[in-house]
Chain A
Amino acid sequence: MSDAFDQLERQLRRAVRAAADNVPVRRRRGWRRTSVFAVAAALTVSGGALAATKLVGGQSAETQGRKIAAQAIRDTATLPACAPAVASQTLVLSDSAPLPEIRAALPALATPAPRDNQARALSMLPQGGPAGPVLRRTVRAIPAADGVTLVVYVQQGFGFGALRDPDACGRARRERAAVLDQDRAEDVKRWTERRLAEVADTVRGLQTLNVSVRVHGQAGMPGAGTPVRPGQPLRLGLLLSGGAGGHRSVYVGIAG
């Protein structure tokens, strides 16, 4: 019986033939926009051209709820509140404390680093400043071996990819979802609601742990932002990995 992999294979085979025949393809908008977060967190799927009525029969309530949530997110994506926040050109520092969940995993972040270390780390933050206030006491540069330095900071909110008005966007998504699942069973509605509540970019009080890698003072590899939700522990393990210049690989994680 044909499955999604077979379907994908058939589509790609057609595309190979079309390319050879030079047949122009009709570009589809919004094929599928799956949101990804750097740590295992809830994901939503944006269904592209899918409508709730095209959901495949026989799906579990959870799957249906996830797809409706994804549809609601896609349908509200063009609202001003749900548009990407413009990254500030000025770095904003906050004296707020990191979440207890962050302090539990990384106790050192509760205490400010020495001033010269903070200043050095601040000078290495992304140009134009990250979106959202940076918690001053968490900023630090951590030297590692072979000229590698980790630049660590926590910021309020979702960081890169943050929305202009997360509260308003969250409300809009829930309203849209209520329209989409109005004829659905109660358990589907619960899964829709739960899924939307899990989407990091609208979680109230969320903070983002950011780590980037410098090699001999220069940018080494892109950083990773890990959203941390109030009440949910920061997951231990690998945060990011990759080449860091000079053909070396770097693996950064949080040890238990």
Chain B
Amino acid sequence: MPGPLPEDRDLLKRIAAGEDAAFSAFYRAHLDAVVAFFRRRVPDAELAFDLAAETFAAVVISAGSYGGDGPAAAWLYGIARNKLRESLRRGRVEDNARRRLGLEPVVLDDRDLERVEDRALAGADALARELAALPEPTRRALLARVVEERAYDEIAADLDCSEQVVRQRVHRGLTRLRAGLKEER
């Protein structure tokens, strides 16, 4: 029987401490979903890859700044949303994080572009299935926090429960999503 999955916040701590294996675990756990997130919002696969690359580069840079005061997935999607918003505002995908890390440009060929589409589909399908499998109260809390970026107190008022209950549901939902997405692979 496999052991418990490492929590994202533990992985981020280890990334900040220079453990590259922890980065791989985090990257592989979230890559499809991040690619799916961007692919739904931008016109082509190359752009989705570019934004995903910049997002994960930002994770490397700022892993140490994740304070653990909210779900790590919400923190990651916050980075992704900001990258998208800034890129749309400026009219070009920013590459600040990648330049800061001194990364080599990655050239995509046709096969890579297909893989972007495959990962986006996989991320979207798997996520939709896993979300649908969550209990209703958990799913509502999770979507309200991670997708709609609403504050815990506001969600608690809407769901007629305490903030602590909302936090537990969000945490539980993310844990179950991660476990379910990992199994699908």
Footprint of B on A, CB under 8 Å? 3-5, 7-9, 11-21, 25-38, 40-41, 43, 45-50, 54-56, 58-60, 63, 66, 160-161, 201, 222, 224, 242-243, 247-249
B93 touches A32 (CB 8 A): yes
B47 touches A36 (CB 8 A): yes
Q: Given A28-B103, A36-B42, A222-B85, does the pair A16, B18 have CB atoms closer than 8 Å?
A: yes
Partner among B20, B91, B149, B154 whose Cβ is within 8 Å of the Cβ of A35: B91
A63 touches B93 (CB 8 A): no
A5 touches B31 (CB 8 A): yes
B43 touches A41 (CB 8 A): yes
User: What is the total of A-B residue contacts with beta carbons within 8 Å?
Assistant: 157
B24 touches A13 (CB 8 A): yes
Partner among A5, A30, A37, A224 whose Cβ is within 8 Å of the Cβ of B119: A5
Q: Given A28-B102, A50-B105, A249-B149, does the pair A17, B20 have CB atoms closer than 8 Å?
A: yes
Partner among A12, A43, A160 whose Cβ is within 8 Å of the Cβ of B43: A43
Q: Given A5-B119, A26-B102, A56-B109, does the pair A161, B93 have CB atoms closer than 8 Å?
A: no
* Extra contacts besides A15-B60, A63-B109 (20): CB < 8 Å: A4-B115, A9-B28, A12-B103, A15-B102, A15-B103, A16-B23, A17-B20, A31-B95, A32-B50, A36-B42, A36-B92, A37-B91, A41-B43, A43-B43, A46-B92, A55-B107, A56-B107, A63-B113, A242-B85, A249-B149
- State the Cβ distance, B123 to closest chain A Cβ, in Å: 12
Chain B residues near A60 (CB, 8 Å)? Answer: 110
Cα of A54 to Cα of B108 in the assembled complex, Å: 12
A50 touches B107 (CB 8 A): yes
Determine chain B's interface SS by DSSP, over half rule.
helix
Chain B residues near A41 (CB, 8 Å)? Answer: 43
A243 touches B93 (CB 8 A): no
A32 touches B95 (CB 8 A): yes
Footprint of A on B, CB under 8 Å? 15, 17-24, 27-28, 31, 42-44, 46-47, 49-50, 53, 56-57, 60, 81, 85, 87-93, 95, 98-113, 115-116, 119, 148-151, 154
B103 touches A45 (CB 8 A): no
A11 touches B104 (CB 8 A): yes
Q: Given A15-B103, A35-B92, does the pair A3, B110 have CB atoms closer than 8 Å?
A: no
B92 touches A34 (CB 8 A): yes
- State the Cβ distance, B90 to closest chain A Cβ, in Å: 7
A17 touches B60 (CB 8 A): no
- State the Cβ distance, B160 to closest chain A Cβ, in Å: 17
Residue of A nearest to B147 (CB): A249
A8 touches B106 (CB 8 A): yes
B50 touches A15 (CB 8 A): no
- State the Cβ distance, B109 to closest chain A Cβ, in Å: 4
A16 touches B19 (CB 8 A): yes
Residue of B nearest to A20 (CB): B18
Cα of A34 to Cα of B54 in the assembled complex, Å: 11
Residue of B nearest to A66 (CB): B46
B93 touches A33 (CB 8 A): yes
Tell me which of A36, A46, A56, A242 has the highest count of chain B C-beta atoms within 10 A of its own C-beta.
A36
